[in-house]
Structure 1
Amino acid sequence: MEGKARPEATAAEAQYAMDRMIALAQFGQQDIAGRLGLNVTDLTCLGFVIEAGMAGESLAAGDLAERARLTTGAVTGVLNRLEKAGYVRRQADPGDRRRVRVVMEESAQARILEVYGPFYERIAALFADYTPDEVAVLADWFTRATDAMQVSLEETRRGGPAPGEQKVP
């Protein structure tokens, strides 16, 4: 399959488009969290639980705290709210009774897909408009951009370069 002609763009134009998408996604996460009766932190943590489940893994509460960069006390509050809202339940780890596993409630997936489904259908249709090679480039870019964003976030959290300072490579 040959790719469609795409409009030319500079790196600056692509970065501007990315910035607009990220800003819209932040507002979207707030709106989606609200529709699901959650706050954004709880929705983010629920996403980590879903991701682990899709990978066939179970997620311990401590692992969730680490992924979400929250204290174990804060994760307890998140889990209390997610449990009360019917999205997850806690389960004792059969290998270590001191650990708690977080498990999705079966009814939760349908509730989540009701909100996210239309968006994912639109994105699937968008990806279908690209050749497999173009999708591979997009996937590579998203993966590498995520890595670059992670490094930048870690720098920011450490107090990284002050505004106006140049980072020495």
Structure 2
Amino acid sequence: MSYNAPLVPGSIGNHTVCLIQKMGQVAFRLAEERLLGIGLRVRHYSVLQALADRGGMAQADLGGYLRIDAATMVSTLDDLERQGYAERQRDPGDRRRYLVILTGKGSETLADIQTILREVHDEMFADLSPERRDVLAEILGELNDSAGLRARFDATRG
């Protein structure tokens, strides 16, 4: 069904928070749809990329870094391990704990995911000039780096 109205219609669109929330839904839906084509989801990508960026990490540390709850982290890692993209290995520094590491297959798959996400990006922002895309990326990057916003978000996670 198609409507002849903006994604956030009427005066609801006067609230930046409502606009950001809807754009997040749109981006998530587009990315999930494409990633499901290779058997993955956005949460899988986040874990794989974090492992590529930071190296092996303890499961709890990885969940905290990505702000993913423990139950979701377990199921996500189970999925990735089953598909051969990541694995749990004993931590050589502490044999009582396990590190999650990226496999070769996981590294190779990240290249495919990056292509998919670039396509989603291009589709999502097709109506914006390159200059406007850059401004948007800069603003969202500033919000992402905001210590105050992080503290308020983390305080509400309990």
Q: Same fold (TM over 0.5)?
A: yes
Structure number with bigger Rg: 1
Give the match for residue 70 of structure 1: 69
Indicate whether 1:107 and 2:105 are aligned.
Answer: yes
State how far apart, in whole Å, the 1-side matches of 2:30 and 2:150 are.
21
Distance 1:121 1:115, change over 3 A: same
- Give the 5 Å matches for 1:71-86: 71=70, 74-86=72-84
Normalised by the length of structure 1, the TM-score is 0.58
2:38 alignment counterpart:
36
Kept in 2: contact 1:49–1:59 (CA 8 A): no
Give the distance between the partners of 2:116 and 2:78, measured in 1 at CA.
Answer: 29
The answer to whether the 8 A contact 1:44-1:68 is kept is: no
- Percent of aligned positions that are identical: 20
Contact 1:91 1:100 in 2 (8 A): yes
Cα drift, residue 78 of structure 1:
2.5
Could you tell me which runs of 5 or more consecutive residues in structure 1 were left unpaired when the two chains were aligned: 1-10, 159-169
- Note the C-alpha offset of 1:100: 1.3
Report how many residues are paired.
140
Structure 1 residue 24: deviation in Å?
0.9
Q: Which runs of 5+ in 2 are unaligned?
A: 1-12
Matches within 5 A, 1:1-169: 12=14, 18-38=20-40, 40=41, 43-54=42-53, 56-66=54-64, 67-71=66-70, 74-120=72-118, 123=121, 129-130=130-131, 135=134, 138-146=136-144, 147=146, 150=150, 153-154=153-154, 157=157
Distance across 2 between alignment mates of 1:68 and 1:32 = 23
What secondary structure does 1:37 align onto? coil
SS in 2 for 1:108: helix
